[in-house]
Amino acid sequence: MGGSIGPAWQEAAATVKSLAETLETYNWTGAQEICKRLIGQMEATSALFPERAARQILNLLRRKRQFGLMVRVADALIRTGQTAPTIQRQHAQALIDRGSYEQARQILKAMLEDASLPDSEKAEANGLLGRIHKQLYVNKGDPLDPQQQANLRTAIRYYYDVYKTDPQKFLWHGINVVALLARAARDGVLVEGYPSYETIARDIEGVLSRMEDLEYWDRATAIEAALALGNHRAAYEHALYLVADPQVDAFEIQSLWRQLTEVWGLSLEQEPGAKLLPTLRAAQLQRAGGRVDVAPEPVAQQAEAESGKGPRLETENPEQLLGVLRYLPLSWYKTGLKRAEAVATIESLDGVISGTGFLVKAADFFPGRDAEELVLLTAAHVIGRTGDPFTGTLEAQSARARFDVERRAIASRR
- Quick check: 316 pLDDT over 80? no
List, for residues 342-359, the tens digit of each pLDDT value.
888 887 776 666 778 888
Q: What is the pLDDT of residue 248?
A: 92
- Quick check: 26 pLDDT over 90? no
Cα-flanking dihedrals φ and ψ of residue 292, to 5°? Answer: -135, 150
Interatomic CA distance for residues 151 and 135, integer angstroms: 9
2 vs 22, higher pLDDT: 22
Q: What angle, 0 to 180 degrees and rounded to 10, lies between the N-to-C axes of helices 146-163 and 171-187?
A: 150
Q: What is the pLDDT of residue 60?
A: 96
Long-range contacts of 168-175 (CB under 8 A, 24+ apart): 168/207, 170/123, 171/204, 171/207, 171/208, 171/218, 171/221, 172/127, 172/217, 172/221, 173/123, 173/126, 173/127, 173/130, 174/200, 174/203, 174/204, 175/201, 175/204, 175/221, 175/224, 175/225
- Quick check: 387 pLDDT over 60? no
List, for residues 264-287, the tens digit of each pLDDT value.
999 999 999 999 999 998 888 877
326 vs 184, higher pLDDT: 184
| pTM, rounded to two decimals | 0.68
Interatomic CA distance for residues 239 and 272, integer angstroms: 12
List, for residues 27-48, the tens digit of each pLDDT value.
999 999 999 999 999 999 888 9
Is residue 173 a contact partner of residue 160, using CB atoms and an 8 Å limit? yes
Q: What is the pLDDT of residue 412?
A: 55
- Quick check: 321 pLDDT over 60? no
Predicted confidence band of residue 234 (pLDDT cuts 50, 70, 90): very high
Interatomic CA distance for residues 78 and 80, integer angstroms: 5
Q: What is the pLDDT of residue 373?
A: 83
Q: What is the pLDDT of residue 174?
A: 98
List, for residues 82-115, the tens digit of each pLDDT value.
989 999 999 999 999 999 999 999 999 999 999 9
